[in-house]
Structure 1
């Protein structure tokens, strides 16, 4: 396993020590990971520096072994029945990590929980699972991209450039180029890579599902010291990132006002109830491409107050949509369309 990256090797090293209750020597670890003893010592030092609770044990005849110990002062790891049951039922929410090394470790933990709970209890708990349904609307399966995601994560952790093969939504074929990965973000069922595109000299986002390949390089990069992925998205209404500073005000009609007020759509939001039952929502964003789609999803129950440019864009969008539904020559002229019910939209919000 000499071709493994340091981050992955250290993860495997922790896994090995976690399974060996009596520890292992540097020589044994080096043999199993097919690396030098010097490399293992360097990895152990790095793990200790990072706060991993490793313990050095001096045994008879000068034998020295290492083991993964419980942090000093930490209580033993144990779960009450309801905690174990809740973790078992929540396992499906880790599916975005499917296939990665983190997923493999999580599956081992869930396997222990299943052993703890027992067959009869698990059968009983599955009855509760029937009450909780996670929709698959827009969900992405990453089980075939495990190694690719690992390479992106390692690149971000070790500040190593990654050469990706990417096909954008509008492209007819994939293109290969180098990126500097800063981190991953999860939005509406999909993973996105955030990083620097050196050839464009700007921070960009790539949808992971559209990355066909990701190869780690030996070239390192420096991430701006003031970059913070959370602050990077602070003014975004999703994953689109703009350079503007736009104040957006929307009036939501009474039938959807409560639905809008029940959620945190953006950290800058300000909601004000009106006497007629409507709601005025205010947001401070870096652009309005994504919020425009969100507003349109409310149909006639949402009206943009400002900015004027967004009002005009939505008006133009609605005109184009109206043209799509205009009667053709083959349709009966003068046929009265059926009255549109608002029950469909409102049913989704109840």
Structure 2
């Protein structure tokens, strides 16, 4: 292969490996990645290539400390040899329209150049094109009242995600919802990130403790990545953690739920089941009795209360009493 072709391919790989700000990559790390791809290259050659590419592409270098870090500017268009196809542009447009408030802010920011590229592709179409009309034929209706996500501190978010990605410890200050001031936690071991209803949670352990904690990212007032390696939790599995109901604010062991729904309130349970092994029995009056084992979470209670008079919890007795007490309190509020 000719030298100019090798150089072109090498520079193309370099551009793909450079992250978007505020993340950055050093010349040394670029060299390591290129060598893994089979390129024999020196740091001086990479540095020269970067300086030349900087004149053409939206690249920037952080020279405040060594090693210098290279990145794409935050507002740089996405680098891709193929353009955005019409199906890709339509998909991105739907994501932007319907998932905007459900995406973590850092994800939305990273996708912004791709959304802009999709907009440019769709702008080239005639208004009568079927692809353009397709956007007016699709709508997503959320099952719950959508809430705006809480505002997150960008510096905090970046420190948390960087520590999680690099498996490093964190030091942070966290203010609980009902606390007057934040509490300092000098050693935090990040395990995972999860999102529920627009709120991003850091799942972690504190210092030498083994119990797993969940911190709302928007309540972290300050975070600093430490360079010590984070302690692992060998038994932790994110999918198992979620399945256990922790993101639904777990209240105890799973419940054997038995509840009667009115015909209108329970009809959807035939098609959108609460549990894979649930049972539904229809009575002569059309009401439906549901039996299913479900996580004992606050989310379960919100779901049941959302049906109002359309549901009556039969078992377990403790949950029935809890729902009855809430119903009485609600009735008193409207008396």
TM-score grouping bracket, smaller chain normalisation: 0.5 to 0.7
Distance 1:142 1:20 in 2: 40
1:199-231 deviation digits (Å, cap 9, x = unpaired)? 764112222232223221223222223321111
Distance 1:110 1:272 in 2: 44
Distance 2:160 2:283 in 1: 51
Counting matched residue pairs gives 286
Q: 1:170: Cα distance to partner?
A: 2.8
Aligned partner of 2:116 in structure 1 is: 111
Aligned partner of 2:90 in structure 1 is: 85
Q: Which of 229, 236, 257 is matched with 2:238 structurally?
A: 229
Q: 1:128: Cα distance to partner?
A: 2.6
**What are the equivalent positions in structure 2 for 1:47-86 lying under 5 Å apart?**
54=37, 56=39, 81-86=86-91
Distance 2:45 2:180 in 1: 61
Contact residue 185 and residue 192 of structure 1 kept, 8 A:
yes
1:83-111 deviation digits (Å, cap 9, x = unpaired)? 432322322325444652x4444222233
What runs of 5+ residues in structure 2 fail to find an aligned partner?
1-7, 54-80
Change (3 A) 1:296 1:199: farther
Aligned partner of 1:13 in structure 2 is: none
Change (3 A) 1:104 1:179: same
> TM-score if structure 2 supplies the norm length?
0.68
Q: Which of 150, 154, 179 is matched with 2:162 structurally?
A: 154
RMSD: 4.2
Distance 1:171 1:311 in 2: 32
> TM-score if structure 1 supplies the norm length?
0.65
1:36-76 deviation digits (Å, cap 9, x = unpaired)? 7545445667xx5xxxxx562679xx967799xxxxxxxx9
Aligned partner of 1:304 in structure 2 is: 313
Distance 2:199 2:249 in 1: 13
Change (3 A) 1:185 1:253: same
Change (3 A) 1:149 1:55: farther
Distance 1:256 1:324 in 2: 24
**What are the equivalent positions in structure 2 for 1:171-210 lying under 5 Å apart?**
171-177=179-185, 178-198=187-207, 201-210=210-219
**What are the equivalent positions in structure 2 for 1:267-346 lying under 5 Å apart?**
267=275, 270-276=278-284, 277-326=286-335
What runs of 5+ residues in structure 1 fail to find an aligned partner?
1-16, 49-53, 68-75, 327-350
The more displaced of 221-230 and 104-113 is: 104-113
Distance 2:326 2:148 in 1: 28
